[in-house]
Amino acid sequence: MITDNRSVVFAFLGIPYATPPVGKYRFAAPEKHSGWSSESPFSAVELGPACIQPQGELIPDFGVNPRQDEDCLYLNVWTAEASLNYRNSPVLIFLEGEGFVTGYPGRFPGQDLASEGIVVVTVSYRLNVFGFFCLEHGGARGNLGLLDQYLALLWVRENIDAFGGDPRSVTLMGHSAGAMSIGYHMVSPRTHDLFHRVILMSGSVTSPWAISTHPSNSSYEIARSLGCLSSRPYAIINCLRSKSSSEILKAFETQYMNGNWSELSLPVVDSFLPDIEQYLPNNPVDALKRGDFLKIPVITGVTRNEGAAIVSQLTELTQHGYSQLKHLFQTSIIPSVINKYNLTNSPNLQEIKTILNWYYIDQIKEGDIMILITKLIDFFTDAQFKAPHKKQLQYLTDITNHPRNTVYVYEFNQEDNHLYRNLNISGSGHGEELLMLFSPSLIKNIGRMRLTSSEERLSAMMKRYWLEFIRKGNIGSNAYGYGISWKRYFPDEDNYIIFTADNNIPSSHTVMRNPMVALTEDAMFKQSVSLWNNLLLNLNNVRKDQVTSGYDTTKMKLTSDGPYRSAMYTLIAFVIVLLILLIVCVVLLKRHSTERERDMF
């Protein structure tokens, strides 16, 4: 194929990297594909099918509605003509997916990135119940989707040189569940030297949704619903193998619709297996805290409105009016997230609910459904993406002096919203930065939209940064003529770059960060992150009698006042941030008023 920059790129599509996971291989660890003979070569000209998943749940779908099949373990390779000739080009492996429930790498064409002199690989892996069914037993071990990815990494190491790629220069890039997957691979003891740099986009293993804590409960329920319940795990698996994939998917969807997806479609700590078979022997958060992870260069970031992907699936509820949506927010959504943060049994549960209601709901004018939707998006963005991202960043940079542990941080904050227009909001939602990285081909595939000239410049800028990182593992001071240098992250500086495009400025400029806007947004971002990572968790550690007025503080032992002081200091900091926000708003209003008066004369 010929790309927009006139480069010749070869696409090798639908290459099987594992034995089809059907029949006796269903719910089993993947096995290496046997390959082909020279007399009967494989014709890699068509994308493979999507793995089995709920229909219509691919968010964002990027205009794709692929066929599905249980035989789905395929990968795709794009390589430029020059890469084939020189055979030492850097390799980018892209992992995607949403909640480990849905996903399809065929959404993302790799030719535009490959035309820049890298080899691009996208990978399909088993999802939902097919990829993560777990009875905490060797016969139903779980983590099959991660093992699929691991086998694909081994395939790249063994074969990518035939496509012009350098197996010693591999970057793993993941989005959403793909980024979480990379976090698991970084702490696994089995991935040494399979990849050398990572790009983590909108997904963190520090998320409360990252690990299934009671996987066998939902898995046994699946077995029961299909008439396969037994005290012997192997008997359950053999029974499930006799069922059709549609029957199993329907049983999963019932659990999924009942809100149990987070226990059924996520990775597990597999310390119940023999040591030689374990892939995740330790909780990823504990491993990060100990510094027990691959020390390699990292790009990591989030978008402004990550929660839009979740709220977009609630559009029917948003059409029912303000009162019903507010009721759902207060009585269902907030309690469910409190539960995932393990705060349900807190002695201060009511205080936690009061704080969350005050922060996200109480300030809304009665009947203003658009503000309520915005706050609901903020709620999911903060709790499910930004707060976990900040915590993971903290662990990654606690050892920032390690020579190979350079970290670059971004926020994608483009005002135009292309993927979630049904919500009528401004600001980039979950997955919108991918439009910048996989364009122009991705935009052409979608067909119903186009980038503005300033977005095209933003796309070119982001690809320049990403490509330099993929090639060298760092981002130099050269800003490629864009006037912005992306500096390495240091915790004490809390420095990160904000990617945005401004349609109202001259074409020769691309705004990365408006200082006045950034000041208020930074304060609000830190406030919301502190709410989830500090205030609520510290409040959870304070005994009820410590916050009642009748408690005799003279009886408090010195060893027990740590949580109390921590919560108190966090509350004080929270109030200070609110005051700072108020002062900033007053200053901005006065400045705006002065400018208006000056304009009048």
- Cα 585 to Cα 393: distance, rounded to the nearest angstrom: 29
Question: Which token pair is 263?
Answer: 């226990």
225 is catalytic: no
Question: Which token pair is 298?
Answer: 């990292």
- Class of residue 137 by CB neighbours under 10 A (exposed 0-12, middle 13-18, buried 19+): middle
Q: Which candidate in 70, 136, 253, 306 is catalytic?
A: 306
412 close to 433: Cβ distance less than 8 angstroms: yes
- Fill in the amino acid letter for 223: A
What Rg, from alpha-carbon coordinates, does the chain have?
A: 25
- Cα 67 to Cα 259: distance, rounded to the nearest angstrom: 26
- Cα 381 to Cα 432: distance, rounded to the nearest angstrom: 14
> How many alpha carbons fall within 13 Å on the CB side of residue 28?
15
- Cα 528 to Cα 535: distance, rounded to the nearest angstrom: 10
Which single residue is written with the structure tokens 């052409």? Answer: 444
DSSP state of 59: S
93 close to 152: Cβ distance less than 8 angstroms: yes
- Cα 445 to Cα 65: distance, rounded to the nearest angstrom: 12
140 close to 134: Cβ distance less than 8 angstroms: yes
* Distance set, CA 454 to CA 340, 458, 506, 508 (Å): 40, 6, 9, 9
Angle CA 221–261–29, to nearest 5 = 75
- Class of residue 553 by CB neighbours under 10 A (exposed 0-12, middle 13-18, buried 19+): exposed
306 is catalytic: yes
Closest alpha carbon to 78 in 59, 94, 97, 57: 94
Q: What is the DSSP string of 513-567?
A: --HHHHHHHHHHHHHHHHIIIIIHHHHHTS-GGGSSTT--GGG--GGGHHHHHHH
Phi, psi of 106 (to 5 degrees): -65, -10
Closest alpha carbon to 101 in 77, 129, 121, 120: 129
306 close to 380: Cβ distance less than 8 angstroms: yes
Q: Which candidate in 124, 169, 176, 428 is catalytic?
A: 176
**Catalytic residue positions, numbered:** 176, 306
